[in-house]
Structure 1
Amino acid sequence: MPVSFLFRVLRPITVLVLSAVVLLTSCQAKLIYYPRSYHEGYRKVLAKRSGARIEYTTGQGQQVAHYMPPMNGKKPTKVWLCYGGNNYLGLDWMQYLTAWDPSFGYLLMDYPGYGDCQGIPNPGRIRDSSREAVQALARHLNETPELLLPRMGVLCHSIGCAAGLMAADDLNIRRVILIAPFTTLTEMGKRFIGWPLCYVNMHRFNNRRHLAHVVDKGAKVVIFHGTADQVIPISMSRELAAAHPGRVTLHEKEGEDHNYILNNIGVEVGDTMSSL
Structure 2
Amino acid sequence: MMTKSDLLYALLSVMIAFIIASITLVAMQRQMIYHPRRYPDHIELPKTIKTINYTVNKKHQTAFFVSKAHQPTTLWIFLNGNAALALQWLPLLNAIDTSQCGFLLIDYPGYGFNQGSPNQQSIRESVQNAVHEMKTRYPSITAVNTIGQSLGAAVAVDTASDLRPSSLILISPFTSLYDMASIAVGQWWSQLLSPFLWDSFHTQDTLPVLRAKLPDLRVMIIHGTKDRVVPFSMGKSLAQENDWISFVSIIGMGHDMDDSATQLVRSQIENQCKE
TM-score over 0.5 (shorter chain): yes
Q: Distance in 2 between matches of 1:119 and 1:194?
A: 30
Question: Residues 25-174 of structure 1: matches in 2 within 5 Å?
Answer: 25-39=26-40, 42-45=43-46, 48-49=47-48, 51-59=49-57, 61-70=59-68, 73-103=69-99, 104-141=101-138, 143=139, 148=141, 150-174=142-166
- Aligned residue-pair number: 263
The aligned residue for residue 17 of structure 2 is 16
2:220 aligned with 1:228: no
In structure 1, runs of 5+ residues without a counterpart are none
The aligned residue for residue 215 of structure 1 is 211
Q: Distance in 1 between matches of 2:251 and 2:96?
A: 23
Cα 1:171/1:9, change in 2 over 3 Å: same
For the residue of structure 2 that corresponds to 1:250, the secondary structure is strand
CA RMSD in angstroms, aligned pairs only: 2.0
More divergent stretch after superposition (5-14 vs 158-167): 5-14
Tell whether the 8 Å contact from 1:100 to 1:270 is kept in structure 2 after alignment. Answer: yes
Displacement of 1:111 in angstroms is 0.5
For the residue of structure 2 that corresponds to 1:131, the secondary structure is helix
In structure 2, runs of 5+ residues without a counterpart are none
2:261 aligned with 1:257: no
More divergent stretch after superposition (106-115 vs 192-201): 192-201
Displacement of 1:173 in angstroms is 1.2
Q: Distance in 2 between matches of 1:39 and 1:68?
A: 20
For the residue of structure 1 that corresponds to 2:246, the secondary structure is strand
AA paired with 2:173? P
The aligned residue for residue 183 of structure 1 is 175
Tell whether the 8 Å contact from 2:154 to 2:201 is kept in structure 1 after alignment. Answer: yes
For the residue of structure 2 that corresponds to 1:7, the secondary structure is helix
More divergent stretch after superposition (179-188 vs 60-69): 60-69
Displacement of 1:3 in angstroms is 7.7
Cα 1:249/1:127, change in 2 over 3 Å: same
Displacement of 1:234 in angstroms is 0.9
For the residue of structure 2 that corresponds to 1:54, the secondary structure is strand
For the residue of structure 2 that corresponds to 1:114, the secondary structure is coil
Tell whether the 8 Å contact from 1:60 to 1:125 is kept in structure 2 after alignment. Answer: no
Calculate the TM-score normalised by the size of structure 2: 0.88
Cα 1:130/1:99, change in 2 over 3 Å: same
AA paired with 1:274? E
For the residue of structure 2 that corresponds to 1:105, the secondary structure is strand
Q: Percent identity?
A: 30
Which of 256, 262, 268 aligns to 1:266? It is: 262
